[in-house]
Amino acid sequence: ETGVTQTPRHLVMGMTNKKSLKCEQHLGHNAMYWYKQSAKKPLELMFVYSLEERVENNSVPSRFSPECPNSSHLFLHLHTLQPEDSALYLCASSQDPGGKKLFFGSGTQLSVL
Amino acid sequence: QKEVEQDPGPLSVPEGAIVSLNCTYSNSAFQYFMWYRQYSRKGPELLMYTYSSGNKEDGRFTAQVDKSSKYISLFIRDSQPSDSATYLCATIQGAQKLVFGQGTRLTINP
């Protein structure tokens, strides 16, 4: 395994479901990120973890709950989502403190019905 | 006003053409500028980054920053079908917070 791995690649869920997205990085980086990518909109930063501590929560609704148990793993727990939450959710990691060079996973394409 | 503005395209050019991709930004305090490339069904990957004004060249790619007009450009010479992707410009708003443009979808036709 190399780089940043995200599972599942695709997820369809109802508004009452609870699901989790998983991200694992094999690069030895110390910062991990969740981004949301919607059609025709810029990438939106959701959460940043540095050395396993959350350093950024970009006004994300509480129905999204991140978890970073160690520097290699990052989760995004989802519950009672809305159809407008359908998007590509991207995980990234970085080593440099400024976060200029991000390494992204391939994303989880989420559809909320 | 959006912090980074980018024409979403799509942009379609013949193979071998010179491609120019552009973004504008709003805050003159921004210092670092990045270009990411995103292939279909993949995450973005860093292509190039520059600091402050000037040019940076890497093979067929040249990144250019004009801080006086808050304008950043990416030029692709001798474009290839494998360059077909979405190109995202980005800058750093604060510690560990990248701000992205909307992305320009580029197609190079053989």
Helix (H, G, I), strand (E, B) or coil at B28: coil
Residue A56 has pLDDT above 80, yes or no: no
Return the pLDDT at A1.
53
Instruction: Give the closest of A41, A56, A97 to B97, CB-based.
Output: A56
Q: Which residues contact A59 (CB under 8 A, 6 or more apart)?
A: none
Return the pLDDT at A94.
93
- Comparing alpha-carbon positions, the chain A residue that sits nearest to B94 is A98
Q: State mean pLDDT over A56-83.
A: 92
The total number of residues shown for chain A amounts to 113
Tokens of B88: 């995202």
Residues in chain B closer than 8 A to A58 (CB atoms): 97
pLDDT tens digit sequence for A29-53: 999 999 999 988 899 999 999 887 8
pLDDT tens digit sequence for B4-34: 999 888 999 999 999 999 999 998 888 899 9
C-alpha angle with apex A13: A7 to A16, nearest 5 degrees? 130
C-alpha angle with apex B42: B38 to B43, nearest 5 degrees? 65
pLDDT tens digit sequence for B38-54: 999 899 999 998 988 88
